[in-house]
Homo-oligomer: A and B are copies of this chain.
Amino acid sequence: MAQLSSPKKDAILKEMALSLLKNKEFILRANKKDIAQARRRGIALAFLERLTLSEKRIKEMAECLIQISRLKDPVGGVIKAWATPNGLRIRKVRVPVGVIAIIYESRPNVTSDCIGLAFKSGNSVILRGGSEALTSNLAIFKLLKAVLINNRIPEGAVSLLATADRSALDVLLKQDAFIDLVMPRGGEGLIRRVIKLSRIPIIKHYKGICHVYVDEEADLNMAQNICFNAKVQRPGVCNAMESLLVHERVAGRFLPGMLKRFKQVGVEIRADAVTKRIFKDVESATESDYRTEYLDLILSVKVVKDLKQAIWHINHFGSHHSDAIVTDDAATAQKFLKEVDSACVYVNASTRFTDGYQFGLGAEIGISTDKLHARGPVALEELTTYKYVVYGKGQIRT
């Protein structure tokens, strides 16, 4: 896998995209079986929505594979090159991680996205999707695997754990002799289970409790637009704002207009006592509100004494994902950017930009709230590791 040329991989990715389009009826038929079974089990509407494929969604899956084929191949890239005093030439070179297991929940499109990203970065992948989407996942998997086999790619390049038996995961997570990395994608319950069971290194995404802090030196008009965007543009995603912090010196000027605008589009506000004195018509926030990822049109609000309290609040209650300050004061911005311990820290921009594509890194497999190996968007480069390649002329150590 690590030795495949980029043109060959890209041609195969395009073939995979074509196969999805040509066989859309086959995929939709499989998906209908999953939907029917989910309906019989009385599964929630939001869940059903995630499970359901359509012609449009299959087209998007194909489009994603095409996009991956256009991204730069990270494998073989030289990270650093230097020579030592005794004449050894050392190169730190990007290589695939090896075998990656991806554990995900209901969306069947994840199957093709993950196969595409893993294949392009030279990795073998073992997929374990949600049991409710098994028939859909298997259909997509079979189509893409057939393309690989036709192109004489080794059998082990992609695998799917095609069983609804939950104990299969327990067995999988003990295979640290064969699997280099596990990436769980799903709710906190799934992730905690994986951490408890796994002997294999993990890259994970817990939660996105993202903050915007409106400083006393903020351009309040800019602040309002950023906050509105961060909360409302797509509230169900991990980089949306869940908590708004406002400096006490501008709270009286900023909050009434801001909260009114939020209420007009149906945002439920849960606020501290100071906010409630400024803007009456809101719920009271409990401490647990500041720890909650709503993924919905709900916002917690707090007025803070100063920058220091804002930073403390974010580091203490947040999830180290994405946090922004709005300020015109450069020193204040620097302090915030340095001291907030999050994967992505922003000054004067919406937290919604935390995304592999928006960052210009290409398609992503997820956002990591971990600190090791990959932090923030996990795109192709983050699916690689490195090796040191050393060229000598007979050097020995004295």
Q: How far is the CA of A261 from the CA of B228 in the complex (A)?
A: 77
Residues on the B chain within 8 Å of A199, using CB: 195-196
Asked if A388 and B343 make an inter-chain contact with CB atoms under 8 angstroms apart, the answer reads: yes
Q: A180-B371, A372-B97, A373-B372 are in contact. Are A389 and B345 (CB under 8 A)?
A: yes
A349 lies within 8 A of B97 (CB): no
Q: Is A388 a contact partner of B372 (Cβ separation < 8 A)? A: no
Contact call A371/B396, Cβ cutoff below 8 A: no
Number of copies: 2
Known: A394-B226, A397-B358. A387 touches B375 (CB 8 A): yes
Let me know if B397 and A350 touch, CB within 8 A.
yes
Residue-wise interface mask of A (343-374) relative to B, using a CB-CB cutoff of 8 A (1 in contact, 0 not): 11111111011100011100000000011110
Contact A348 B98 (CB under 8 A): no
A90 touches B (CB below 8 Å): yes
- Please determine whether A392 and B225 come into contact, CB atoms closer than 8 angstroms: no
A288 at the interface (CB under 8 A from B): no
A26 interface residue (CB < 8 Å to B): no
Interface residues of A in 1-56 (CB under 8 A from B): 2-3
Cα A88 to Cα B352 in complex, Å, equals: 12
Query: Are B345's CB and A390's CB within 8 A?
Result: yes
A159 within 8 A of partner (CB): no
A396, B195: Cβ atoms closer than 8 Å: no
Contact A390 B353 (CB under 8 A): yes
Q: How far is the CA of A181 from the CA of B394 in the complex (A)?
A: 38
> Which residues on the B side are within 8 Å of A222 (C-beta)?
394
Inter-chain contact B387/A342, CB cutoff 8 Å: yes
Q: Are A371 and B385 in contact (CB under 8 A)?
A: yes
Q: Is A202 at the interface (CB under 8 A from chain B)?
A: yes
The one of B225, B344, B371 that contacts A181, using a Cβ cutoff of 8 Å: B371
Interface centre among A97, A225, A345 (most CB of B within 10 A): A345
Q: Counting CB contacts under 8 A, is A338 at the interface?
A: yes
Q: Is the CB of A353 within 8 A of B395?
A: yes
Distance A341 CA – B124 CA, assembled complex (angstroms) = 14
- A166 interfacial by beta-carbon distance below 8 Å: no
Q: Which residue of B lies closest to A376 (CB)?
A: B388
Inter-subunit contact A395/B338 (CB<8 Å): no
Among residues of B, the one whose C-beta sits closest to the C-beta of A201 is B372
| Residue on B nearest A198 in the bound complex, by CB | B199
Q: How far is the CB of A183 from chain B (nearest CB, A)?
A: 11
| Contact between A387 and B353, CB atoms less than 8 A apart | no
Once the chains are docked, how many angstroms separate the CA of A373 from the CA of B181?
11
Bound CA–CA A44/B250 (angstroms)? 70
Contact, CB under 8 Å: B350 / A225? no
> Which residue of B348, B359, B373, B387 contacts A345 across the interface (Cβ within 8 Å)?
B387
Tell me which residues across on chain B come within 8 A of A312, comparing CB atoms: none
**How many whole Å from A280's CB to the nearest CB in chain B?**
28
Task: Closest B residue to A389 by CB, please name it.
Answer: B337
Q: Which residues of B sit under 8 angstroms from A344, Cβ to Cβ? A: 387-388, 390
A346 CB contacts on chain B under 8 angstroms = 390-392
Contact residue among B337, B350, B376 (Cβ-Cβ distance under 8 Å from A395):
B350
Question: Which of B88, B370, B376, B386 is close to A349, meaning CB atoms less than 8 Å apart?
Answer: B88
Q: List 7 A-B contacts (CB under 8 A).
A: A2-B341, A84-B358, A90-B359, A90-B360, A201-B202, A341-B387, A347-B392
8 closest pairs, A vs B, by CB? A349-B392, A229-B396, A352-B397, A373-B373, A222-B394, A372-B373, A348-B392, A344-B388
